Amino acid sequence: MGRQTLDIVRSFPEQFKVVALAARSNVDLLVEQAKEFGPDLVACFADSPEVERKAREALPKALLGERGLLAVATHADADILVAATSGQDGLRPTLAAISAGKTIALANKETLVMAGHVVTEAARRHGVAILPVDSEHSAIWQCLHGEENNSIRRLILTASGGPFRTTPLEQLRDVSVEQAMAHPTWRMGPKITIDSATLMNKGLEVIEAHWLFDMPYEQIDVVVHPESIIHSMVEFCDGSIKMQASLPTMHLPILHTLTYPERLDTSDKNLIKELNWPTVARLNFEELNLERFPCFKLAIEAGKRGGTYPSVLVGADEEAVAMFMEGKIPYRGIAEILEAVLERHDSISQPDSAAIVGACAWARSEARVCSAKYLG
Ligand SMILES: NC(=O)C1=CN([C@@H]2O[C@H](COP(=O)(O)OP(=O)(O)OC[C@H]3O[C@@H](n4cnc5c(N)ncnc54)[C@H](OP(=O)(O)O)[C@@H]3O)[C@@H](O)[C@H]2O)C=CC1
Ligand SMILES: CC(=O)[C@@H](O)[C@H](O)COP(=O)(O)O
Ligand SMILES: [Mn+2]
């Protein structure tokens, strides 16, 4: 998402300037990006001594660790923060940016899932807008432009169904990392790609929609749409349904957060491919099969239960996905570990951000404990 944001800046140098830039471990790319975009501030989270050494050498002025992320998120010259780190690390910097009055272009869905009540309340208190980058939420937001929230009957999120939409159930227990990484329509980072395979991504997105649009879970539905052309829909009280469509590209939702309420002409930019309708042979829609995708069900239950359950969901999932990718647990282990960790959890109601981060850390360590049964 970060690279695609920079593609947009590269295409519209008159409109946008990068004032601060953060990454975790890819120092070589960060150096390249810093050279090209000349930000005032560069930060590297540097999650290992080796990366830290490399960052100190290659970027002597860079701020390291969470301190760097917080400085980037609150840079005095920034109007908007594109929050596009993966996983749980985005929460504190995003809250800091809200406190500093920055508009938030939110790609990092884990932030809202873990701490929806804290983040939305902080945004309300500071008069800050949280603009959705996630393709489904951008679609819903675009469908809602000019509409009244009280005229919504339901939000309908589309799901591609991932690489295992039609895989026979008996083969699904032990599919490989390579198979899980082969998303049919989107090219994304590893964590979200595995989440799309298990449909955890869609569960997280339902929770994200609940917070972004202040919508009860009973008014949020999911329909499988394998082509990823319709990015989501809103059904209104009179029965009218609006949908937003494009070829699958994240450039468009990112651009919309950066230009809202205006739109920029992209026709001569070689950035967003035109959708040529006659070449779209067929758009398909199917019911979501819950038996096939237990992670989806666990996510919705955690969202509805609230408290620290969503934070535990995020922490356990992050750890389980990492262990699956490292070959330590089988594919089915992701759902099994999530279920076991959620079951063991004693939730706190209305947690503050410290309790949310604490619950997430607890869930990660519990997930590792639960993985022991797959060893050997
Ligand atoms: N990709 C997509 O199409 C979509 C993504 N999203 C959401 O956007 C977020 C990013 O996804 P995606 O771009 O695919 O993921 P990637 O794994 O491709 O990229 C994640 C980026 O975050 C950086 N990062 C991770 N942790 C930290 C940290 N602690 N400090 C600083 N930087 C950090 C990484 O830096 P480095 O490379 O240096 O390690 C990398 O640049 C996720 O939350 C995802 O759910 C939402 C909708 C669509
Ligand atoms: C591009 C984007 O927004 C992803 O979150 C996408 O939604 C993944 O696709 P599925 O989760 O529907 O497979
Ligand atoms: Mn999405």
Q: Is residue 215 part of a domain?
A: yes
In whole angstroms, give the CA distance from residue 152 to residue 233.
11
At 281 the pLDDT is 77
How many angstroms is it from 138 CA to the middle of ligand 3? 9
How many angstroms is it from 77 CA to the middle of ligand 2? 32
Residue 246 labelled as part of a binding site: no
Shortest-distance atom of ligand 2 to CA 109: 5
Q: What is the complex's ipTM, to 2 decimals?
A: 0.99
Q: What are phi and psi of 344, to 5 degrees?
A: -80, -10
Contacts of 202 (CB under 8 A, 6+ apart): 157, 159, 196, 222, 288, 293, 296, 299
182 within ligand 2 shell (Cβ under 6 A) = no
What's the CA angle centered on 179, arms 175 and 185, to 5 degrees?
Answer: 135
Q: What are phi and psi of 243, to 5 degrees?
A: -130, 155
How many angstroms is it from 23 CA to the middle of ligand 1? 9
Reference 110, options 348, 345, 313; nearest CA is 313
In whole angstroms, give the CA distance from residue 116 to residue 306.
10
| Closest ligand to the CA of 105 | 1
In whole angstroms, give the CA distance from residue 91 to residue 361.
13
250 within ligand 1 shell (Cβ under 6 A) = yes
Contacts of 362 (CB under 8 A, 6+ apart): 312, 315, 345
CA neighbours closer than 13 Å in the CB half-sphere of residue 369? 9
88 within ligand 2 shell (Cβ under 6 A) = no
Report how far apart, in Å, the C-alpha atoms of 190 and of each of 171, 322, 329 are: 22, 9, 16
Residue 52 labelled as part of a binding site: no
Residue ranges in the chain assigned as alpha helix (H): 2-11, 27-37, 49-58, 65-73, 91-99, 109-126, 135-144, 177-180, 190-198, 200-212, 251-259, 294-305, 309-325, 331-344, 353-370
Digits of tens for pLDDT over the chain (376 positions)? 999 999 999 999 999 999 999 999 999 999 999 999 999 999 999 999 999 999 999 999 999 999 999 999 999 999 999 999 998 899 999 999 999 999 999 999 999 999 999 999 999 999 999 999 999 999 999 999 999 989 999 999 999 999 999 999 999 988 999 999 999 999 999 999 999 999 999 999 999 999 999 999 999 999 999 999 999 999 999 999 999 999 999 999 999 999 999 999 999 999 999 999 999 879 999 999 999 999 999 999 999 999 999 999 999 999 999 999 999 999 999 999 999 999 999 999 999 999 999 999 999 999 999 999 998 6
Residue 276 labelled as part of a binding site: no
Give 172-222 as a 3 state SS string: HHHCCHHHHCCCCCCCCCHHHHHHHHHCHHHHHHHHHHHHHCCCCHHHEEE
Q: Which protein residues have a CB closer than 5 Å to ligand 3 (ion)?
A: 134-136
The strand pair at 41-44 and 20-23 is best described as parallel
Q: What is the CATH number of the domain that holds 231?
A: 1.10.1740.10
How many angstroms is it from 245 CA to the middle of ligand 3? 14
Residue 136 labelled as part of a binding site: yes
- Axis-axis angle for helices 65-73, 91-99 (nearest 10): 40
Q: Is residue 61 part of a domain?
A: no
Reference 136, options 168, 162, 113, 107; nearest CA is 107
The total number of structural domains that make up the chain: 1
| Closest ligand to the CA of 110 | 1
At 62 the pLDDT is 98
Ligand 2 atom 3 nearest Cα: 135
138 within ligand 1 shell (Cβ under 6 A) = no
Pocket of ligand 1, candidates 188, 212, 313: which has the most ligand atoms within 8 Å of its Cβ, to mutate?
188
Q: Is residue 216 part of a domain?
A: yes
315: domain range? 147-242+288-374
Residue 25 labelled as part of a binding site: no
236 within ligand 2 shell (Cβ under 6 A) = no
At 364 the pLDDT is 98
Q: What is the DSSP string of 232-262?
A: EEEEETTS-EEEEE-SS-SHHHHHHHHHTTS
Q: Does residue 281 sit in helix, strand or coil?
A: coil
Q: Is residue 294 part of a domain?
A: yes
Q: Is residue 339 part of a domain?
A: yes
DSSP 23: E
pTM: 0.98
In whole angstroms, give the CA distance from residue 152 to residue 235.
6
22 within ligand 1 shell (Cβ under 6 A) = yes
Q: Is residue 18 part of a domain?
A: no
How many angstroms is it from 350 CA to the middle of ligand 2? 29
